[in-house]
């Protein structure tokens, strides 16, 4: 089978907080990722984002043993970016999705001038990408609100953070609008609700006495990000028409567990609250009536002004991107749960799962692409998709990861089918081209990459890069486009 779109963009995606290392070099401030320790006792199928108290997180800033906090060290992309980008190019990739660390550009958020050393680092990375023929997609905030913004302002719940972010955005646009091809203001913006510590930079322990206040704070932080994204689009229009801005969502496609009408209705509501609400605001420019009803019936009170709603209405996105890892099931009755990307969904007896409990559903990707295209008629880019597996090098200094080849191939086949369906999908970046530290469990053992990185969960190892079998498979696919 031949892949039918010649100008399709193929590549890999990473985040600064999971690969760069150099967590406190050249004026960079810490983020929550840098004070989240690896826990060897974690149950992978029950895992959730580390949730310590504010004092526990801040106390970890005093711990000098960096190996206890794997994201402080990452895979040392900060020093090895030239080697890694060359490997991406050799694999045949033509786009790299990466993130810029806000904490490298404005370490405290409120500086008058940006950190020139941080800007220079990313300028160097962009130049290396261009030298290797890679287009660039940049995520501007990827789970890494600087801790000084969390402690001084209370994260995105505070509307003052909108202005701090816009100052950051303006610097990035003016410095890099010639270098970057696609911009994403926020990674998985719906994480504001699923994991507000990472998404909007609040300490959940500040709201521990009142669950309702945490819910309201999460939606307020999300709203402020919607406003910031719209104002970022408004700003971009004034700077250059080369700046192309989309959204990024942790997509959560689900099915009713059966055809019982009550369960079908329950799944409809699940889709509204886990997917369509976010897309509707960013693509259509309006809060849908079903979410307004939810706010009213659950006494969720938000500070939303008519001016903000007007800004959101007038500054919608140009394209949609999302992460796609699994699907799940929904029932009004209690059903067996499976782990998903930061939240639990129902088990599907027809699907296989990874050792983290993530259900593998390639056809679900085609369904997702068709649903989003039919609803919004905007170009679509799959910005994350991949499989995490515990892996070790064999005696030939490689990994025989046939399961990853199977996973990638089956998902790419479904992208091909969606293109035949008439969906305007223009690119795909796998998570990830190279092994990184896991966002959720802070472990190196959960490996997604085509390239093996020789570090363990405590950063023991040489740091050398080794090509897995899947690397060579992808390289051949890029040459032949045969599936």
Active site residues: 384
Q: First and final CA of the chain: distance in angstroms?
A: 5
SS3 content of the chain, % helix, strand, coil (to 5): 45, 15, 40
Dihedral over alpha carbons 86, 88, 93, 98 (to 10 degrees) = -110
Question: Are 191 and 198 within 8 A, CB to CB?
Answer: yes
- Specify whether the CB–CB gap between 224 and 141 falls below 8 A: no
Quickly list H helices, 272-361: 277-279, 289-297, 306-314
Query: What's the number of CA atoms in the CB half-sphere (13 Å) around residue 105?
Result: 24
Alpha-carbon distance of 328 to 268, in angstroms, equals: 13
Contacts of 344 (CB under 8 A, 6+ apart): 337, 338
Instruction: Give the separation between CA 365 and CA 360, rounded to whole angstroms.
Output: 10
Sheet of strand 344-346: strand arrangement: 254-256, 328-330, 344-346, 337-339
* C-alpha closest to that of 424 among 468, 376, 390, 469: 376
Q: Do 87 and 12 touch, CB atoms closer than 8 A?
A: no
Distances (CA, A) of 155 to 107, 126, 148, 192, 233: 14, 29, 9, 11, 21
**If you count them, how many residues does the chain have?**
483
355 burial (CB, 10 Å; 0-12 / 13-18 / 19+) is exposed
- With vertex at residue 423, the alpha carbon angle to CA 421 and CA 426, rounded to the nearest 5 degrees, is 130
Q: What is the CA radius of gyration of the chain?
A: 21
């Amino acid at each position: 089978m031949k892949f039918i779109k010649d100008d399709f963009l193929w590549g890999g995606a990473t985040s600064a907080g999971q690969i760069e290392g150099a967590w406190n070099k050249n004026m960079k401030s810490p983020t929550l990722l840098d004070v989240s320790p690896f826990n060897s006792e974690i149950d992978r199928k029950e895992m959730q984002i580390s949730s310590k108290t504010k004092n526990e997180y801040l106390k970890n800033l005093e711990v000098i043993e960096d190996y206890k906090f794997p994201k402080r060290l990452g895979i040392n992309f900060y020093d090895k970016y030239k080697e890694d980008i060359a490997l991406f190019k050799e694999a045949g990739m033509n786009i790299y999705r990466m993130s810029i660390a806000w904490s490298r550009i404005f370490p405290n958020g409120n500086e008058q001038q940006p950190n020139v050393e941080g800007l220079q680092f990313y300028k160097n990375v962009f130049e290396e990408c261009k030298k290797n023929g890679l287009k660039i997609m940049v995520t501007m905030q990827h789970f890494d609100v600087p801790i000084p913004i969390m402690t001084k302002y209370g994260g995105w719940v505070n509307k003052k953070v909108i202005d701090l972010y816009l100052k950051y955005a303006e610097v990035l646009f003016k410095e890099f609008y010639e270098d970057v091809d696609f911009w994403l203001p926020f990674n998985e913006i719906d994480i504001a609700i699923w994991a507000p510590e990472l998404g909007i930079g609040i300490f959940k322990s500040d709201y521990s006495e009142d669950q309702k206040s945490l819910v309201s704070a999460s939606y307020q932080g999300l709203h402020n990000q919607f406003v910031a994204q719209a104002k970022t689009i408004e700003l971009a229009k004034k700077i250059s028409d080369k700046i192309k801005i989309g959204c990024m969502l942790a997509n959560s496609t689900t099915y009713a567990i059966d055809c019982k009408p009550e369960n079908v209705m329950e799944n409809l509501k699940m889709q509204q609250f886990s997917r369509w609400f976010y897309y509707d605001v960013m693509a259509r420019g309006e809060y849908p009536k079903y979410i307004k009803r939810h706010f009213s019936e659950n006494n969720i009170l938000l500070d939303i002004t008519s001016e903000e709603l007007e800004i959101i209405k007038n500054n919608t996105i140009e394209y949609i991107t999302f992460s796609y890892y699994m699907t799940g099931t929904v029932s009004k009755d209690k059903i067996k749960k499976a782990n998903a990307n930061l939240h639990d969904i129902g088990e599907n007896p027809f699907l296989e799962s990874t050792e983290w409990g993530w259900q593998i559903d390639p056809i679900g990707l085609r369904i997702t692409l068709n649903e989003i295209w039919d609803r919004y008629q905007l170009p679509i880019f799959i910005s994350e998709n991949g499989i995490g597996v515990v892996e070790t090098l064999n005696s030939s200094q490689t990994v025989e990861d046939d399961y990853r080849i199977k996973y990638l191939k089956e998902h790419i086949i479904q992208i091909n089918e969606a293109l035949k369906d008439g969906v305007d999908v223009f690119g795909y970046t796998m998570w990830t081209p190279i092994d990184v530290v896991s966002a959720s469990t802070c472990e190196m053992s959960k490996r997604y990459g085509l390239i093996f990185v020789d570090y363990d969960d405590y950063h023991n190892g040489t740091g050398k890069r080794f090509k897995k079998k899947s690397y060579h498979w992808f390289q051949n696919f890029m040459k032949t486009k045969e599936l």
